Chains A and B, each alone.
Chain A
């Protein structure tokens, strides 16, 4: 095998094959996916994100929360994500169509956050977690997201407020055409 052009052409075809077979084919299937109602005439899902949540996503990316948190719930046969209470149904591609950059993540040092908005109790609880995670947790505190209030308590600043809004907006608890919720 001494022919340089043959090697280059061969390597090029192998790259082109996987590119076409996986990415272009995937694009043909999902490239135009958009919001849709679960039933005819119903509301469109996923819901539009509030502007504050969009800013909050930037904070989430900035601080690298994705290093420890995923945002994807696997179906019941594939891991115990639903049994862990991280979601009420598996994530589907349509859940992510509004996100400019998806943060599916690859490593769970902490719990999955795909449906965190549905289980978060209050802003104050989220703020308390971000400013002072439970003792013994691997999660670091994020003091720069807070200001000291007059009474000495910590109040989320602009970025903190946006991040909290973002975390609350993380919901996958609606029916979609691909994943209906059981009544």
Chain B
């Protein structure tokens, strides 16, 4: 991907982005200016939701060892807050941020000035309003029994329309731009932006509008969830990695020609892996086995992304250069997590292993490895790169950047390791037919509460830094745009 040596980059590039703004403001390119307002809108919304989700995560984590904490009022019961926290994290934080990130990536890769940016912003407004209404419904009324489909079906319809406006339409518009070439990041973005609305709509129809018979609902849900995690969150984050890694290391990807195969095999197999999360459930055995086969086949895209990324990192002291670059430090952390997450998913789709860990916190740990340690860390890294280019300012405080990285990195390592370890030990104890009540570890809830607090600290540090930048420098944006 040698095409993006854009001349009009601000001078901040390649330097630690936490450096205070003592050397004057960086300039804003025309391409960046054309997407600035929708992208800033999505990032700011994502940031607010991230804070909400982190506070809720602290509350739910504490509730698991002190069930009477905030339990006087029914609205704050664990079952409601847990669902709200999950939806805020996935639809509020991750999806908003990825819509914004994808938009920016498309504009930069295409070097294409984005017209009608207000349509994307309108989509974003609808998205966030719908999410707010949905959360209020879960809080005071009811919810659906499926992870990430808890919000009422009317909200889902609004999500669908919003996504078309904010993500799918821009993706198609960008790739249809006059200059011909389409780069690997763009395939991933296009694929992700297409898969999510289609899968989401079909799932809503089959689970909530005209519910299919009995356990088929769970089958549809597993299909949805794997598509959402791997092909919306995962593929969008991979697009960012394919962009930032070669760009910031100023090199080409090892085995770039393989990336086509990596892309197609991921999209081909990931959609079939849903039933691998239903092993032992009352769905037909052949469907479960199909899921397992698909999960094992994920080994192919995993190998290719590993060659692409780790091959590139092992050349020319790539690892240490990545470590000293704010964006790449987060991105490479995410990459390692992605590799681990996929490897675990492949390994634990084996029936005998899955029987032990299914329904324990192990699965929650696996999910967090993918959605936080990979997807969210990549988003953070990207934000450190993009926001200065949109606002024409530097990150106000390098200390806060460090605080953000270290607290989130520690928290996610602790939390994932805890879930995996305690999930496995609980599963093993259950398999040895120990009574359920004796298999629970009180330390687990303590550890996850501590990690939730650490997450909150990291996110507040990030938010302070970002809000500082977004608010102080909005005036210089206009000057820069005219320059």
Contacts and interface: CB of A to CB of B under 8 A. Distances in A.
Contacts of B71: 140-141, 143
Contacts of A94: 214
Interface residues of A, number: 74
B403 interface: no
B9 interface: no
A93 B282 contact: yes
A152 B227 CA distance: 52
Contacts of A105: 145, 359
Contact of B219 (A22, A65, A143): A22
B433 A84 contact: yes
B206 interface: yes
A123 B71 CA distance: 23
Contacts of A140: 63, 67-68, 71, 77-78
Q: A interface, by DSSP: helix, strand, loop or mixed? A: loop
Q: B interface, by DSSP: helix, strand, loop or mixed? A: helix
B282 A7 contact: no
Residue among B275, B280, B356, B440 with max Cβ neighbours from chain A (10 Å): B280
A27 B212 contact: yes
A63 interface: yes
Contacts of A92: 282
Given A18-B272, A141-B68, A31 B147 contact: no
Contacts of B308: none
A14 interface: yes
B77 A63 contact: yes
Contacts of A25: 287
B48 interface: no
A67 B281 contact: no
Given A66-B145, A67-B79, A102-B215, A1 B182 contact: yes
A100 interface: yes
Interface residues of B, number: 82
B445 interface: yes
A78 B359 contact: no
Contact of A79 (B145, B282, B430): B430
B268 A84 contact: no
Given A17-B271, A72-B281, A93-B283, A138 B359 contact: no
Interface string B168-193: 00001001100011100001001100
Interface stretch (A37-45, A47-55, A107-115, A163-171): A107-115
B282 A95 contact: yes
B306 interface: no
Contact of A18 (B78, B260, B271, B364): B271
Interface string B90-108: 0000000000000000000
Given A67-B79, A96-B282, A101 B217 contact: yes
B483 interface: no
B274 interface: yes
B195 A62 contact: no
A137 interface: yes
A2 B260 CA distance: 11
Given A21-B272, A80-B431, A7 B219 contact: no
A101 B198 CA distance: 22
A57 to B, nearest CB: 9
B80 interface: yes
Contacts of A77: 355
Interface in A97-151: 97-109, 111, 133, 137-144
Contacts of B364: 107
Contacts of B181: 2
A106 B147 contact: yes
B216 A62 contact: no
A31 B435 CA distance: 37
B213 A31 contact: yes
B358 interface: yes
Contacts of A27: 212-213, 216
B77 to A, nearest CB: 6
A75 B175 CA distance: 50
Given A64-B83, A83-B433, A30 B215 contact: yes
Contacts of A67: 78-79, 82-83
A21 B274 CA distance: 12
Given A33-B214, A101-B217, A104-B218, A91 B282 contact: yes
B299 to A, nearest CB: 17
Nearest to B84: A64
B279 A78 contact: yes
A23 B433 contact: no
B219 A23 contact: yes
Contacts of A156: none
B191 A100 contact: no
Contacts of A80: 430-433
20 contacts: A7-B182, A12-B198, A14-B271, A18-B227, A18-B274, A22-B290, A25-B287, A26-B216, A26-B287, A27-B212, A27-B213, A64-B78, A64-B80, A78-B351, A83-B433, A104-B281, A107-B361, A107-B364, A141-B68, A144-B74
Interface of B: 63-65, 67-68, 71-72, 74, 77-80, 82-83, 141-145, 147, 172, 175-176, 180-182, 187, 190-191, 194-195, 198-199, 202, 206, 211-220, 223, 227, 260, 264, 267-268, 271-272, 274-275, 277, 279-284, 287, 290-291, 351, 355-356, 358-361, 363-364, 430-433, 435-436, 440, 445
Task: Please name the 7 residue pairs, one residue from A and one from B, whose CB atoms are nearest each other, closest first.
Answer: A64-B79, A74-B280, A18-B271, A96-B214, A78-B280, A103-B145, A108-B359
Given A64-B77, A83-B433, A104-B218, 12 more contacts: A1-B187, A4-B175, A10-B267, A14-B264, A17-B271, A22-B287, A26-B216, A78-B279, A91-B281, A95-B282, A103-B145, A105-B145
